Each structure stands twice: as structure tokens, then as C-alpha cells.
Chain A
Amino acid sequence: MNTFTFQQAAGAKEAAGAVASRPGAMFLAGGTTLVDLMKVDVLRPDTVVDVRLPGLSSIDVTERGIAIGAAVTNSELAWHPVVRDRLPLLSEAILSGATTQIRNMATVAGNILQRTRCPYFRDVHASCNRRQPGSGCDALDGFNRGHAVLGVSDHCIATHPSDMCVAMAVLDAEVHTIRANGTARSIPFGQFHKAPGNTPHVEVALAHGELITHIVVPYLPAGRRSHFLKVRDRASYEFALAAAAVVLDLDGDTIRAARLGLGGIATRPWRATDAERILTGRKATDDAFRKAAEMALAGAVAREHNGFKIELAKRTIVRAFAIARDARV
């Protein structure tokens, strides 16, 4: 680990200012990404600004939805009675990731900003365009069983690791930020994470020193069915091979509207809007779900070891929709 100056900020604006004024400064929240990656020299900040601030640590419940402070922990959010009652998809997604210890530390903004688990990203001796632009990508022809099949490019195939983000994408969350000069803005969740393209090192729509203050998640209308289904190599404490977050609005056995998010198979939290559209007006049968799944994976590109994820993801989608359809509301 390189040396750094540890700073505690008085407030969000001050924290944004402290990071904005130094190119090598970074925000520190729960530490489960930053401290981990500092230990293996992947991240080498010269200044670390602690942003677990009291003003960013509450969940505000309104009539239309919830506003989640950036420093709220994953556990606090998943266990919140209103989230469990009105946004069970979000609780399910969070509880399917990591462990209680990690969810007790990791913040919601930190989850949104977590870095890929690609082993070549985490190894400073490997080539990685995300870590070191222009150095190449050892995953393309390396061991890529865990890598993405959607949103990939010739420069990066790293999987976005978050479960929570898949639920947030499906729930049309909005990310609110502040800068040192006090400018605040909100970014729709679907525009927050960037696919790698030619610039894999550009991961999110934030400027240096721009701090997430809170995330707004609107409630689903009454009567919506939802489910988060995660498939992985072991039953707990493992990243997804494929995950699906689904929402169904049913009129009898006919689909009025559907939403579909995918995790474990894409370079960013994935929303399969084409697949959502073809479900509208169809009967909620496994056949219809399979057609949607085919459409969701139509653009998938596999490498040597991760081809199995395409069929696995399709079956995960069908199963998730079927569980939501058959659930009691």
C-alpha cells in the first residue's frame, strides 16, 4: 500500500472540495472496495477523504419513494421495513450479495461505484485497459469464465459485479451528486454506468471530486410482482454467474408491462428494454418468457470459457419471470 493522507470532511461539499483539489485524492466510504484494492496496489490514492458523514446516512421515506443517503449501509437499506414492504426486489438483490459483515460496512454509493472483480484488473502484473489505459486486456484470451457477454468490447470484457445495481436499474433509480462549488445534479441510473467501448477506464458518469449524496428510488405501483434470481457457483457469498431482476404487471394472465434487468453477464448493470417490450400484451407463459430471454441475449458475445453463460442467463430469466408470475401478491 502506498502512503496517503487520511482526511475527515466536515460535510459533503467540503469532501467534494478536498477530492476535487487533488488529482490523486479519492473518497473513502465503507472501504470494502477501496481498502481492498489499495492493498494490492491497484488503487494508489495520495489522499483519502472519509465520507461516512451523518448528513449522508439516513433513509427518507416519502409518498413516491425513498431517498437513500449515500453512506447508508447495504444492510440498513435491505433491512429497512419500508424497503422490504414496498421495494422487496431491492432487499432481495442486496441480501443475495456478499455477507452480513460486508453489507454492514459497504455503503449504497460504494456499491454503485464498486470496481470489477476481473482477476486481471486486480493483478498489477497483468494487462488491463481498465486499470492502465492502452495496456491491453489479458482477459480476452485468458481465463474468462466469469466474464461478460453483453456490453463487451475488444478492449474489456469485465463483468459489473453488483446485484443491487441490477435492481436499481430496473426500479428506475436516480443518482444525486454534488460538486465542490455546490452544483447538484441527478443522473438516471441507466446513464450512470458506462459500457467499456474504447475507454474501459471511464466507468461512471462522475467528474473527479463529484460526490454522490443520495439515491432516489420510486416505488413500484401497487400490485406489481417482482423477483430477484441469482445463479452462482456456491449457495452463498459468491458473485453471480447470471442474475435477473424482473417486474411483472399482470392483467389476469396477460402481461400489461414487464421489466428485466441482468447481472453477472454484462459490463454494466443491464436493462433489457427490447425484451421488456416484446412481453407487453402477451400471455405470461414460459414460452413468452423464453422469447424475451432470446431477445435479451441476442447481442451476446462469448469468449473461450464463458459461452455457457448465454444459455444460463436465458434460463435464469425464464425462471425469474415464472417465479414472479406464480407468486402470491
Chain B
Amino acid sequence: MFDLLQTYNPIYSRRKFVLRSNHSGSGSSDPVNTTLRVNGRTHELSIDSRLTLLDTLRDVLGLTGTKKGCDQGACGACTVIVDSQRVLSCLTLAAANEGRDVVTIEGLSTNGELHPMQAAFLHCDGFQCGYCTPGQILSAVCTVQEVHAGVPSHVTRDVRQTVDSATLTDEEIRERMSGNLCRCGAYPNIVAAVRQVLSAS
């Protein structure tokens, strides 16, 4: 399973052998029973305790919309929403998410209707190859929620102030989205997509 995953992922090339030996060479796995709630569905699982939420979503539940980029918390491709907060699914063990509500890109649309952020990414052409896009979109959804909650970012002039969508600068959007890298460089259009949803809501 892991060998296949790494074969398909060019970003792995340098670390492939380390990871392979990690997964196959350290004795038998230690299964853990856990209940995961993903996109509203509950899954009773008995899985290897080493499995991250990312690997569980992709390889156990077949939800391959969540992407594995760096697998070390540097790129944001694996971003999912857990209990209404965006997190990196590669840096959290699946078992540590028992009882929490996980939303992946597959769970974002309702009744076949795209989420406004998905529609905005299409409208603004906010991607090229698309690999980082699920993570970008989930991160952008949370960015909008955070702006509506009025919370500051690193570039907010005074953290005591409450930010609002009407006066939010592009610099603010870029800072808030800085955890999602795009090697195609679609950033200007991603900022436009976030702006579009901020203005509409």
C-alpha cells in the first residue's frame, strides 16, 4: 500500500527508502480501534496505530481528494477541516481524531451543488495542475470563516483590532493562506477566489 503510494508520488523520491523501511521493517503493527466521523459518515476502524489521518482518509477510506505532498507539514496539500478548524492531516494520527468531525474536499458540496469556494476557484481559474487545490479550497473556506470571526493575522496592524471582510487587504489574504503552497504559482487567482467569496458573503 505504502510502496504504491510512494511510487506515484514524485515528491517522495529522496526519502522513499527511509519511509519504506519505516513501514515494513519495524516489526508487526499495533492495531488500534477508533471511530472516525468523515463528511458526516461514521467509520468503525481497526487500523495500524502509525496511520496518520491523511493515510487513513486516502488508503483506508478511499477518499483520495486529500493530497499527500510533503508529508511533513510544509506544503498544506493535506489540509482538512477537523471540528471546524483547518489542520494538516499528515501530522495527526488517525486515532487521535476519535470523536472529531472531519470534512474533506469530498464533503464540501451539498446535493451536487459546489460550495461557493469551489465555484470561485473555477470562476477565477485558481489552479493549474490541481494537486494543491483541495487543500487550498478547504483552507480558503476556513480563511473566510476566520475573517468573519474578526480574528487577526500576523499582518494585522494591531491585534487588538477586529478585522472585517470589507477592508481586508490582499496582503491579509496571502498571509492567511500562506500554509498552502502552489508550485504552479496560481496565487493571484487564488487570492481573487478568496476575495470573491469574502465579498459575496
List A residues at the B interface (Cβ < 8 Å): 1-6, 8, 28, 30-32, 35-36, 38-41, 48, 50, 52, 73, 75, 78-79, 84-85, 88, 91-92, 95-96, 98-102, 104-105, 235-237
What are some 9 contacts across the A-B interface (CB < 8 A)? A3-B26, A4-B49, A41-B22, A75-B85, A79-B149, A99-B179, A101-B76, A101-B86, A102-B88
Chain B nearest CB, measured from A231 CB (Å) = 13
A-contact bits for B4-39, CB 8 A (1 contact / 0 none): 000000000000001100110011111010000000
Determine the distance from Cα of A224 to Cα of B168 in the docked complex, in whole angstroms: 28
When the two chains form the complex, which single residue of B27, B28, B87 contacts A101, counting CB atoms closer than 8 Å? Answer: B87
A8, A35, A48, A99: which has the most chain B beta carbons within 10 Å?
A99
**Interface on B for A, CB 8 Å cutoff?**
18-19, 22-23, 26-30, 32, 49-50, 52, 71-73, 76, 79, 85-88, 91-93, 95-96, 98, 139, 142-143, 146, 149, 151-154, 156, 158-160, 174-176, 178-179
Residue from the list A6, A99, A236 in contact with B49, Cβ < 8 A? A6
Closest A residue, CB atoms, query B99: A8
CA distance A28 to B96 in the complex (A): 9
Q: Which residues of A contact B96 (CB under 8 A)?
A: 6, 28, 31, 50, 52
**Which of B26, B151, B154 lies in contact with A96, CB distance below 8 A?**
B154
Q: How far is B48's CA from A3's CA once the two chains are assembled, in angstroms?
A: 9
Enumerate chain B residues within 8 angstroms of A30, measured Cβ to Cβ: 91-92
Among all A-B residue pairs, the 6 with the closest Cβ atoms: A99-B179, A236-B178, A6-B49, A79-B151, A104-B85, A91-B159
User: In the bound complex, do residue B92 and residue A104 qualify as a contact, i.e. CB atoms below 8 Å apart?
Assistant: no
The distance in angstroms between the C-alpha atoms of A28 and B85, with both chains bound, is 19
Which of A3, A73, A105, A236 is the one whose CB lies under 8 Å from B30? A3
Contacts of B85 in A (CB 8 A): 73, 75, 104
Q: Are B76 and A99 in contact (CB under 8 A)?
A: yes
Give chain A nearest CB distance to B15 CB in angstroms: 8
CA distance A284 to B29 in the complex (A): 62
Chain B residues near A3: list those with CB within 8 A: 26-30, 49-50
Q: Which of A32, A48, A88, A235 contacts B73 (CB 8 A)?
A: A32
Judging by beta carbons under 8 Å apart, are B30 and A92 in contact? no
Given that A95-B153, A102-B73, A105-B92 are contacting pairs, would A88 and B22 also be in contact in the complex, using a CB cutoff of 8 Å?
A: no
Task: Other than A3-B29, A101-B88, A236-B154, give 6 A-B pairs with Cβ distance below 8 A.
Answer: A78-B159, A85-B160, A95-B152, A100-B153, A100-B179, A237-B179
Known: A41-B18, A41-B22, A101-B76. A6 touches B88 (CB 8 A): no
| CB-nearest residue of chain B to A90 | B159
CB distance from B156 to the nearest CB of A (A): 8
Given contacts A4-B30, A95-B154, A100-B146, are A35 and B160 in contact (CB under 8 A)? Answer: no
When chains A and B are docked, how far (Å) is the Cα of A40 from the Cα of B28? 18
- CB-based contact A28/B88 at 8 Å: no
Known interface pairs A5-B49, A40-B18; A35-B178 also in contact (CB < 8 Å): no
Q: Which residues of B contact A105 (CB under 8 A)?
A: 87-88, 91-92
- Chain B residues near A48 (CB, 8 Å)? 49, 93
**In whole angstroms, what is the CA distance A88 to B95 when docked?**
35
Contacts of B143 in A (CB 8 A): 100
With A101-B179, A237-B179 in contact, do A6 and B29 touch (Cβ < 8 Å)? no
Chain B residues whose C-beta falls within 8 Å of the C-beta of A101 in the assembled complex: 76, 79, 86-88, 139, 179
For B178, the chain A residues whose CB sits under 8 A away are 99, 235-237
Q: Which of B72, B174, B176 contacts A36 (CB 8 A)?
A: B72
In the assembled complex, the CB of B48 is this many whole angstroms from the nearest CB of chain A, namely 8
Residues of B within 8 A of A52 (CB): 96
**How distant is B153 from chain A, measured CB to nearest CB, in Å?**
6
Residue of A whose beta carbon sits closest to that of B52: A35
Decide if B95 touches A6 in the complex (CB within 8 Å): yes
Known: A28-B93, A31-B92, A101-B139. A1 touches B23 (CB 8 A): yes
Q: Kindly state the separation between the CA atoms of A36 and B15 in the bound complex, as whole angstroms.
A: 14
- In whole Å, how far is B95's beta carbon from the nearest beta carbon of chain A? 5
Q: Report the minimum CB–CB distance from A248 to chain B (whole Å).
A: 17
Q: Specify which of B73, B86, B174 is in contact with A104 (CB 8 Å cutoff).
A: B86
The answer for the CA separation of A52 and B82 in the assembled complex, in Å, is: 14
Q: Is the pair A39, B92 in contact by a Cβ cutoff of 8 Å?
A: no
Chain B residue with the shortest CB-CB distance to A3: B30
Interface centre among A8, A91, A104, by most chain B C-beta atoms within 10 angstroms, is A104
